[in-house]
Amino acid sequence: MENKAKAELELEFISSIIRDTRKKIDDSGLSGAVWGSLVVIGVMVNYISGLTHNWSYALYVWGVLLAAGWIYSFLKFRNTRKNSIPETFGLKIQNALWRASGIAMTLIGIVCSVQFKREVSDMVPYSYIINSMAIAPLISFILGTAYYVTGYINDCKYTTRLAYGWWTGGVIIFYMKSYNTFPVFALMTILFQIVPALRYYKRSKMNSAGK
């Protein structure tokens, strides 16, 4: 009887240590909300620039937004390292995937924006390989891939389903031929990135509080 009580306590102790450790390494999801919000601002600046035919500031705004996003990501990475927060193998792959996707999206953003600036100035484009309006669908496809793999790693169907949203939305905006691609892309970012990230953040905070 005494042995049973001891065994019960021991198992409870093991579970509590594992639970507490996982809470500490759990990503809050805040990065998704921060990056998503920056993208929504940038895309809406593009939309307004398109409507007013004034593209003087769009490229600079994107420069500031991207710099802010990367500074935030760098500070977060430094904080993780400072607090000795370890990464599981799955988390390492996930972080590498999002870093690589982030770099690819930044490059697409820069290339397409440079191209766009030349197009609206009636200048000869640097390259005919990529159309400036391809920025939103291309980024949507990359985000879809990143969400799909993240959902697969974490065995989370909700995250995997977000990928289908990004891919479908990407195809739809690929066929749109006006500046309306920008608000549609902003709406997609809110629905498939910011809202899920905030939902995840709320759940992570509740877990930390032990609720």
Partner 1 sequence: MTSSEFDYTLLDDIIHSRIRLAIISVLISVEEADFNFLKQNVNATDGNLSIHLKKIEEAGYLTAEKTFIDRKPNTKYRLTEAGREAFEKYVERLEKMLGR
Residues at the interface with partner 1 (CB under 8 A)? 3-4, 6-8, 10-11, 13-14, 17-18, 20-22, 24-25, 81, 83-89
Q: By C-beta, is 81 or 177 nearer to partner 1?
A: 81
For residue 190, give the DSSP letter.
I
| Least CB distance to partner 1 at residue 207 (A) | 14
Please state, in angstroms and rounded to a whole number, the distance separating the CA atoms of residues 112 and 199.
Answer: 32
Q: By C-beta, is 10 or 75 nearer to partner 1?
A: 10
| Least CB distance to partner 1 at residue 6 (A) | 7
Q: By C-beta, is 54 or 208 nearer to partner 1?
A: 208
Q: By C-beta, is 153 or 190 nearer to partner 1?
A: 153
| Least CB distance to partner 1 at residue 169 (A) | 36
**Measured between alpha carbons, how far is residue 130 from residues 110, 113, 184 in Å?**
12, 11, 21
Q: Report the chain's terminal Cα–Cα distance, integer Å.
A: 32
Please state, in angstroms and rounded to a whole number, the distance separating the CA atoms of residues 181 and 134.
Answer: 10
Structure tokens at 11: 């198992």
For residue 193, give the DSSP letter.
I
| Least CB distance to partner 1 at residue 202 (A) | 23
Cα 27-33-39 angle, rounded to 5 deg: 135
CB atoms within 10 A of CB 186: 21
Please state, in angstroms and rounded to a whole number, the distance separating the CA atoms of residues 211 and 53.
Answer: 51
| Least CB distance to partner 1 at residue 5 (A) | 10
Q: By C-beta, is 10 or 123 nearer to partner 1?
A: 10
